Chains A and B, each alone.
Chain A
Amino acid sequence: MVGDGDMEVRTEALYSIPTEPIKGIFYRYIRTKFANEPLSTHGAMSNGGRYNVAGLFAALYLGFDHLTCQAEVSQGIAAGVPFKRGAFTVWDYETDLRAIIRLDNNAILQEIGVTESDITISGNYWTASAIGEHLHNRGNVEGLVAPSAQLMDYSISPNYLCGGYV
């Protein structure tokens, strides 16, 4: 188990939760300067992300919709300041993965021993990145679907696909 305060992740459960396939079009906002590198995970590898620790492994973060992508790139170092028009280019990704884990499923979260709020804490990636690392180590998980930490107040589908573990 790994813990952060009172919360403990049941790591053993992360190795036995059944996977499921996912297919569809997902989206990514890429800085226009780097738009010719749509599969680049340079930023995730270098800075880390909610589900991947910097330098350990990379992941491609895709949104279910444009609004989610926009909210995700507007966090962190650029938070609170509107972007210049044309700063980002949107790419569509036709995605067909056979083995992902749905962290937007409460039953699965319960099995892992966490709640949605544990993995969407602003500025605290501890629990989410521990989950991501174990799923990466499991070796047969191609990605995961997680709730976006940026769109909790929206009534749209605030999901985020962290796919293509590298």
Chain B
Amino acid sequence: MPRTEMNLDHLADAPFGAQVATLRQLFGFNKKDFADVLGVNEKTIRRWEDGEEDIHPQNTHKQAVEALHTISESLDDLFEPDMIKVWADRPNPALQGERPRDYAKKPGGIFLMAHLLGNLGR
């Protein structure tokens, strides 16, 4: 069954579809808008979230999948679940002072956040 509630516990260990749904909700997207910013179609988002395991996300839409994985892993590594929500709602100096949930809606915003989070402390 598709996961409908945002669950930030052990985000990086969750199935890929659950990570997609959680990040989409964390950044406040509907499926169509999330698909647009990731450069995939809405059907792809729906299939990922529904856990259709015959879809191998690592082989298609590589850039979007990697960005989502990186954000999931990094947020899970760095913050407690309740702090992830705080992070998403707080103005961020690395994102021109915008909140991550707002910055995610800019073209390339998700990918820049993945880049910065993925390299933090590395």
Q: Which residues of A contact B (CB under 8 A)?
A: 29-34, 37, 40, 42-43, 46-47, 73, 75-84, 87-88, 122-123
Contacts and interface: CB of A to CB of B under 8 A. Distances in A.
Nearest to A48: B119
Contacts, number: 71
A76 B120 contact: yes
A148 to B, nearest CB: 16
A32 B77 contact: yes
A119 B80 CA distance: 33
Given A43-B122, A47-B116, A81 B77 contact: no
The DSSP consensus for interface residues of chain A is mixed
Nearest to B97: A123
B14 interface: no
A40 B115 CA distance: 16
A90 to B, nearest CB: 11
A80 B100 CA distance: 13
Nearest to A75: B93
Given A42-B119, A43-B119, A123-B93, A78 B87 contact: yes
Contacts of B77: 31-33, 84, 87
A32 B76 CA distance: 12
A84 B92 contact: no
Contacts of A73: 120-121
A43 B86 contact: no
B21 interface: no
Nearest to B112: A77
B94 interface: yes
A43 B121 contact: yes
Contacts of A81: 79, 83, 86-87, 90
For A30, A40, A75, A83, the residue with the greatest tally of chain B CB atoms inside 10 Å of its CB is A83
Given A34-B121, A40-B122, A46-B119, A79 B79 contact: no
